[in-house]
Amino acid sequence: MYTQKSFVLKPADADKKWYLIDAKDKVVGRLATEVADILRGKNNPQFTPNTDSGDFVVVVNADKVKFTGNKWNAKTYFWHTGFIGGIKSRTAKEQLERKPEKILMDAVKGMLPKTSLGRKQLTKLKVFAGEAHGHEAQKPIEYKIK
């Protein structure tokens, strides 16, 4: 009798690729879901949920992303300084002026697992505000967002 064995991808066997994504005129949430899927490895047929089988992603033009509706003024980013009464906040428009990379980083971070594996997968995301990025040596493949 034939029994089929389950396939389990080992981290050493994962073939990591580098993808380059242009975020110009892309909606933040829709872009973030695609990036999160690539980081997790869900676009790979050998996807294993408990293994870091995802690829590296380089996002350029993060300062040219779009939000739908009135989110530029209504969406608020919060953080805490660590001191008593140290809650801080910024609207999405203020965040775009100060740290445009953080908008996409926070969106993708919210879509990854809240575990040590998710934190490891987030380190494979490289976001840049302009066209220039420092990863030409990795020869990233141009990735088209659907």
pLDDT value of residue 11: 83
Assign 103 a pLDDT band (cuts: 50, 70, 90): very high
Q: How confident is the model at residue 146 (pLDDT cuts 50, 70, 90)?
A: confident
pLDDT value, residue 88: 97
Residues contacting residue 92 through CB under 8 Å, at least 6 positions apart: 67, 71, 72, 73, 74, 75, 76, 77, 103
> In the chain, what are the domain boundaries?
16-66+99-142
Q: Chain-centre distance of CA 124, in angstroms?
A: 8
SS3 (DSSP) at 38: helix
Number of helices (H) and strands (E) in the chain: give both, helices first: 5, 6
pLDDT, tens digit, 9 for 90 and up, residues 15-38: 899 999 999 999 999 999 999 999
pLDDT the model gives residue 7 = 83
pLDDT score of 115 more than 90: yes
Q: What is the pLDDT of residues 73-97, one digit of tens each?
A: 999 999 999 999 999 999 999 999 9
pLDDT on residue 9? 87
- The CATH number corresponding to 16-66+99-142 among 3.40.50.300, 3.40.50.10210, 3.90.1180.10, 3.30.420.40 equals 3.90.1180.10
Return the pLDDT at 5. 84
